[in-house]
Structure formats: C-alpha cells, structure tokens
A and B are shown apart, each in its own frame.
Chain A
C-alpha cells in the first residue's frame, strides 16, 4: 500500500482512480496506477499550501465515492471551461488544472513505482532533455 504524509489511504485510492480515468493506459503506455507514480505524490504535495491541501483532500474524499461517470463528466466539463465565464466555470477549471495537473505531473515525471518494471512515459516518448556536460 502506498503511504503518504499528506493523504489518507482513501484519498490515495481516490487519486489513483481519477488518475486511471485521465490515463487508462494502452498497449504502449501503462495506466496511471500501473506505473506506480503515486508512490512519489509527497514530492509534489510537500510544497502545497496547507489550505490548498485541505481542499484537495476534501475533493478526493468526494471523488472516492462519486460514480465514475460523474468524474468523467467533471473532467470533460473542466476541459471545456477554459473559454467560459462565470464562477462555476472557474471551479471546473480549478478542478481540471489542479487535479489534472497533479495526475499529469506525476505520470509524465519519469518516476515509477517500486514494482513497475517497464519503461516510464518519458522513456517511451523518447524525451532526452537531460543535463549533459558534453556537447
């Protein structure tokens, strides 16, 4: 079981569930949960403001019991909210930017879980922007 200094087990499970909706995986890329990148979630959360962390945890507790169809709808609504005015559109943008950002940052960071044996997404992509001292 993944442990976190910032999230409870149910919240971790909810974030993995949302991650798999964002990135379900296919023949080439692992799913969010299969990659095991959630093991590194504290690296991101250590810099999160306490008030933002509190809101994230509340949201995850809700998403943990929400039907999958509702989460899919919220993600789609968030993605389409960028050109829309109003308070509600702002909340959906925040949802998409915040939660989607968390998921995508973890998944595409190059981190993997201890049990994952395959290539990471940046390796699959062929990303090679590493620091080198040789031109």
Chain B
C-alpha cells in the first residue's frame, strides 16, 4: 500500500464499516473511519427514550419514505445501527444465495463460500442462541402458540455477553453494560487498537476521484474538511452509501445507483391477554418462526415489543382510543410481522442534496401482510387473547440495497471484487450491496460480506 495521507478511508462505523476497518488496519494499512454520528462511551449513552431517539438515530427516529408509508430507523452514532439494533445474527439460506447469484452474476454468492466468512465473524463475537430458559413471558407465549399451530419456532441468536436476567429494551439506546456486541465495542474498537483513526460527527457531503487518490469532502461542526486516501470504502448503510454516491454524481455512469432498495417492512401486532405479560422485560425479542412455509410466503413472525413512546406511536390512535391501548401496555402479548418485500423502492437525492426514499408496498407485499395478520390472529387466539390490535404503520429497521452487486452497470453498481464498477479505488462493504431482500436479519451477513471485502481489497496489494 502506497504511503499517503491515509491508505484507506472508511465511511461508516457500523457492522460493515467496523469490520472492514479492522481487517484493513490489522494488516498494517493506515485507516481513517469517518462517522456522521457521535461517539459515546458506555456511561455517556443517553438514558431516556427522547434523548435516545434524538441523538442516536437519523431524523430523530422518524425518517419517512416520500409518501410517509414507511418509517426508517437507523443508527447515527459510532457503531451505526449495530449500536441500536438487537444484534440478531442469522445466516442466509441457499435460496437467498441462489437468487442473488442468479440476479447479480456474482459467482461467490454461495452458501458454501460464505460459510467460511460467517465462521470467522461469529468466532470473534460473543453470541448466544436464546432458549426457553431465556425467553420472557411474551416469547414463551409465542413459542408455544407457534408450535401448537404447527409451525416451527426457534430461539433467536443474539450477539451479546452475560445478558440473561437484564432488560434489553434499553439496548435500543445502546448498551451501557457493553454486553451487546455492537461494532462500537468490537470491530471499531479493535481497529482503533490497530492504529486506525476515527472522526465522529463528520458528515460526508461528497467524494471526488483524483488522478491517483480519492478525496472525501465532509462537514464537521459547521466546518468543511477534506481528506484524501489511496482507496475509499463506503460503508454508510443502504441510505447513507447510496446518498453519498448520488450526491457525488456517480449515477451518470452507474444508473443503477439508488435502485433495488428493499426494507423488510414490519408491523406490530399486540393482544390484550388480561393478565400481566410485561413483554418489555428481559429479552424482548426471543423467538421467531423458523418455518419453511412462512418463508416461502415471504413472512416471518417474531416476538417483539417497544418502549412506551414508540409503542404509542406504532399502535396509533388519539384520545380515548390511544389511552385504552396504552393502559394495557403491561398486559400485551406482542409480535412483529416482517415482510420480505419483492418490489424494490428507490433512493434519490434532490437538487438541494436531500435524500428521498420511494418505497410503497406492492399488492403482493400487502397480500403477505394480510396472511401474516391472519396467522397472528390465530396465534393470539391460541394464547387466549381477549382482543387483538394490528398496527397499520410500517417501520423498517433493515434498509437494504441501492448499490447492488452486479456483473455490469446494467444490473449492478458494485463488481464481484467489491469495487464500484469502473472505479477501482472506491469500494462498498455494507448492506447497500444486497441485490434483493433476504427475509432474514441482515447484520451477520453484512459483517461476513465486509470480512470478504477486506480480504479482496488487501489481496490486490499483495
């Protein structure tokens, strides 16, 4: 690697950025991580729901699609979404890899090949498969109901350490105990130990390709800054990475930038059980439908719940109707219906540089929601629920795609070596690479892809 200001700049510090920064810096490359959000030590993490939403999430946790049909929640902090999500780890199945390989033409999108990367990543991060002993009351109810209705229920795999008996609802605001294995306490911390630098609160406005370098233009504390590097790795997530490339004008040569955007729309359903459930205590996400029939339909059902402010927002209503639901907060069994969306949306940037996201649920996706709600009704009925409420507000914690892997500019944005097509000095190593919606929690695969990206980028310098 040629000495310069930096060998690599990595934009984003989440599951992808942290991993690729660690892989590059541990091999001796001089790396700089740029993160739009702030860095928080465990004792600095905001404790209240208001401060959490405002300080750790883009748009205060209320980032809407252009027609306000979906709300996106994504982390804006060192650690990115890995700091504020539930750190659920799932490997993709053969069906996803096969579909992606066919769609992209990238040969290594294959379970056998990717298992090696999954193995490395999971061997380095503490994780636990939640079992009946760890389920909270809500997860126990759902697990039993799924089995009674003939579905397969499985405990979620969560990247955490020594977390049994704690209330992980607060993990949505980062984990002050450092139990959750976010990139902030794993790969980013490891990269910094290897000598990488980090600039937090640094919003990337655009990038420029120079003769033999890449320049990154940023805004930090109201001041414009420029950094140069030999090579750039974009890992700012589906919305962040795509927006940076669009603002920088790359869509003129790569028209697929911003297309193929998916988001796994999720809907909360809850039921009044007439007795205390306290779904907010313990592991509030514990079990999911590991069932091929539901997978074939394109839905997943998972135990879930929310703190009061988010709960009130999602259940909707006003006045007496809102308060009648809020009063039953501790009596609620709850689940989320997660849809594998088949029809993509699109990320755009307007003339003022603002990102807009077009994402509407197609008729087939709405049909999946209908099936999911019917199954949820059956599950709640099996539990003995008194009444059921289905939220009509879609939220997304999995924005994906926008810079899909592909074999050329007609079907993708990034080539099989993780380079922006036609630009060997610019790489992408995050969830924006996804050619489609997997219907599975994406964070482990983001880490595995970033691990592979680090290897491939380094292999070109050996």
Contact = CB atoms under 8 A, between A and B. Distances in A.
Given A22-B319, A47-B55, A82-B69, A125 B50 contact: no
Contacts of A96: 316
Interface in B314-342: 316-320, 322-323, 326-327, 329-330
A129 B280 contact: yes
A23 B322 contact: yes
A94 B326 contact: no
Interface stretch (B164-172, B248-256, B436-444): B164-172
B213 interface: no
Interface in A79-135: 79, 82-83, 87, 89-91, 93-94, 96-98, 100-101, 104-111, 121-122, 125-133, 135
Contacts of B177: 131, 133
Given A90-B69, A104-B313, A108-B308, A29 B323 contact: yes
Contact of B318 (A75, A87, A125, A135): A75
A125 B49 CA distance: 15
A107 B319 CA distance: 13
A107 B177 CA distance: 27
Nearest to B62: A101
A27 B346 CA distance: 47
Interface of A: 21-24, 26, 28-29, 40, 43-44, 46-49, 51-52, 75-76, 79, 82-83, 87, 89-91, 93-94, 96-98, 100-101, 104-111, 121-122, 125-133, 135
B176 interface: yes
A135 B164 contact: yes
B309 interface: yes
Contact of A132 (B48, B62, B167, B307): B167
A119 to B, nearest CB: 13
A98 B320 CA distance: 20
Given A97-B62, A129-B170, 9 more contacts: A40-B50, A97-B64, A97-B393, A98-B64, A105-B50, A111-B48, A121-B326, A129-B281, A135-B165
A42 to B, nearest CB: 9
A23 B323 contact: yes
A131 B71 contact: no
Contacts of A97: 62, 64, 68, 71, 313, 393
Contacts of B67: 87, 89-90, 93
A122 B318 contact: no
Nearest to A133: B177
Q: Report, as a range, how many residues of chain B touch the other chain.
A: 35 or more
Contacts of A122: 308
A121 B351 CA distance: 43
Contact of B313 (A49, A76, A101): A101
A121 to B, nearest CB: 7
A-B pairs, top 3 by smallest CB distance, nearest first, are A135-B165, A90-B67, A129-B169
Given A29-B323, A79-B316, A128-B281, A44 B53 contact: yes
Contact of B64 (A26, A46, A94, A104): A94
Nearest to B392: A82
A24 B169 CA distance: 28
A46 B326 CA distance: 27
B128 interface: no
B93 interface: no
A104 B49 contact: no
B285 to A, nearest CB: 13
B54 A43 contact: yes
Contact of B326 (A43, A79, A125): A125
Nearest to B393: A82
A48 to B, nearest CB: 6
Contacts of A82: 69, 316, 392-393
